[in-house]
Amino acid sequence: MKTGSVMLAISALAFFLQISAFGQDEYLLGIARMNDGSPEQARIHFENVLATDGDDQDCLLKISETFYRTHDYHNAIEYLERLEKLQGGMGSYLLAKTYAELGDASMSVFHLEKHLRSPYKLPSSTILLDDAFLSLEQGSEWKSLWKNDWYSEEEVLFQEISYLSGAGDYIDALDMIETAIGGPADQVALLAARGKVFYRMENYQNSVEAYTEAIEKTRMNAECFYGRAESYIALGKIKNALPDLKRAWQLQPEKLELLKELSQANRSAGIFDQAAAAIEEYIEYFPAQAEAHYVHGQILFDSGKYLQALSSFNTCLELETNDPRFYAARGQTYLATSTYRYALNDFGMALDLDPKNHEVWFQKGMARWNSNDREGSINDWQIAARLGSQKAAEKLEELSIRQ
């Protein structure tokens, strides 16, 4: 990317961050900045929450994470200890990781033991594979810690099901679930696990049925709603998926990517107003994400709002100048508005970046045809046809042109 383009993108980012912050949920803005790799920016938003509610436990954990990510371990410890006084065990895992990074094995193991005794306990596989603890693994304190049985039979059961499913041993995982169904283990979690296994097996109808049975037991499990939505989408039942995606988002608003998925599902269902509303809300949290503006532009194009679509695609290209999709999308929009000269320029830019895209060659041929450049359009369609475009082949056949 050229220096001028870099400066333009930085200016756009600064502007978007300023306008997006107005009136938005500070905690979710912090989550968004964490997601896009800006912990210092995230910290500003979390500090704003703490200025209003100094005992917000989720926020204390997140601000600690921003310090951990920037290797400011002493400040991370300060906030984590503050959190531990409010809710014992909630910050213990990150404290263990932080002391490990500082080379203090004793304090790391001490806090990890607190974590293993807490309701926030992570699966053993997650802990044992965490790179933060690599330096501790040969130490006597670490080895002594793992001589204890920290996990109940139920917790071991779910860890084994997860392992088998992840390894592709679906039949064994299902057998284990079926044996446990009706027993003392968490029935909702078992049904959700069954739904996930069936989804991975591409048995989407059985996956829907498993998740539905779980949802009938509780409407407070976001995983079940999201899992059922995925299965509905795989079955092509997009409209069935929409309320599930919306419910999953209501239960877990910090999962901001759900807004983008909700938008795309509404677009697939032809519900463009709701698709636009969801992606616009997503953009409020990720104003500098070119991909989000691209999705917005596609929705606007599909709904015939070409001038607004052009604005979205212009934004994409202000933020990212090397993605051929953005030029192609803007070119298609110019084509739809009969602005052929600009369309040809954008199609040319797209093909410079992706010369084998037969759809762009076809669209470029259409722009030339409408510009009364018969020879140029035929040449473009011949290239498109050679690259696999059925539409271009049909055009050439209509004109009795040999490919």
- Per-residue pLDDT at 290: 98
Burial of 349 (0-12, 13-18, 19+ CB in 10 A): buried
pLDDT tens-digit map of 284-330? 999 999 999 999 999 999 999 999 999 999 999 999 999 999 999 99
pLDDT tens-digit map of 19-72? 344 457 999 999 999 999 999 999 999 999 999 999 999 999 999 999 999 999
- The arithmetic mean of pLDDT across residues 274-287, rounded, is 98
Portion of the chain with pLDDT greater than 70, in percent: 94
Quick one: pLDDT band at residue 401, thresholds 50, 70, 90?
A: confident
With H, G, I as helix, E, B as strand and everything else as coil, classify residue 205.
helix
Enter the pTM of the model.
Answer: 0.89
Q: Which domains does the chain have, with CATH numbers?
A: 152-255 (1.25.40.10), 322-403 (1.25.40.10)
- The arithmetic mean of pLDDT across residues 96-101, rounded, is 98
- The arithmetic mean of pLDDT across residues 147-155, rounded, is 96
Return all residues near 365 (Cβ < 8 A) that are at least 6 apart: 376, 377, 378, 379, 380, 381, 384, 392, 395
- Per-residue pLDDT at 402: 65
- The arithmetic mean of pLDDT across residues 218-230, rounded, is 98
pLDDT beyond 90 at 3? no
CA distance 277 to 231: 24
**Apex CA 43: angle with CA 42 and CA 49, to 5°?**
100
pLDDT beyond 80 at 2? no
Quick one: pLDDT band at residue 135, thresholds 50, 70, 90?
A: very high
- The arithmetic mean of pLDDT across residues 85-101, rounded, is 98
pLDDT tens-digit map of 203-216? 999 999 999 999 99
- Per-residue pLDDT at 7: 42
- Per-residue pLDDT at 12: 42
CA distance 264 to 341: 31
pLDDT beyond 80 at 267? yes
Contact by Cβ (8 Å): 118, 85:
no
pLDDT beyond 70 at 370? yes
Compute the residue count for the chain: 403
Contact by Cβ (8 Å): 278, 268:
no
CA distance 202 to 236: 13
Quick one: pLDDT band at residue 18, thresholds 50, 70, 90?
A: very low
